[in-house]
Amino acid sequence: MARIATALPFAFDFEPVTTALIVIDMQRDFIEPGGFGETLGNDVSLLQSIVPTTAALIALCRAHGVPVIHTRECHKPDLSDLPAAKRDRGNPDLRIGDPGPMGRILIAGERGADIIPDVYPIVGELVIDKPGKGAFYATGLSDHLAKLGTKTLIFAGVTTEVCVQTTMREANDRGFDSLLIEDATESYFPAFKAATLDMIRAQGAIVGWTATCAELEVALNE
């Protein structure tokens, strides 16, 4: 049993052999200049700031035999899995499916929808293409975790308040204990990240726990 004694809101205990890391949507369209995130008026440098820590977290989990799972929010080229309510909301310069600097925005197989090179999956790591915010919706993630015997999930990725939090809440409803790595997740809005961390660990870890990558490393190396 490993323990992060300094996790919030209280110590987090987990068995590394029944733990998996889920890295949410570290995609070019969200993180790189010219992608979908920037077309919405966001400062993508905020998301770029977590890339080194996220890469270190992935390397740490690989070194300790913790399975790494990656997700990409993207849709079929014919948009058959894209509700109109999602595509038409707001007033962005580009919408999902429109041609962009890195191919059609958030379309499976396009360059912009792929994961950035710094945290790219290696052979054997599962990549989940998801049409929604949560990684459990309309995917095979539940079945995959069941086959692994997973009981605990570690989370990283973007954005904290949308796809990361949504997936953590889905995981909570499915009986997983979840830990969010604070310095390996980010939002275009720092206040939203701070509020999400507070919500996750409120009321006795109602959704899950939070800790830093360094704190996780200490626990895994003990």
Residues involved in catalysis: 25, 130, 163
- Cα separation, 123 vs 168, whole angstroms: 25
Residues 6+ apart with CB under 8 A from 180: 154, 155, 156, 160, 164, 168, 197, 200, 208, 209, 210, 211
Rounded to the nearest angstrom, the gap between the alpha carbon of residue 70 and the centroid of all alpha carbons in its chain is 8
- Cα separation, 129 vs 154, whole angstroms: 19
- Cα separation, 139 vs 129, whole angstroms: 7
- Cα separation, 79 vs 81, whole angstroms: 5
- Cα separation, 209 vs 221, whole angstroms: 19
106: left (phi over 0), alpha (psi -120 to 50) or beta: left
- As to burial, measured by CB atoms within 10 angstroms (0-12 exposed, 13-18 middle, 19+ buried), residue 211 is buried
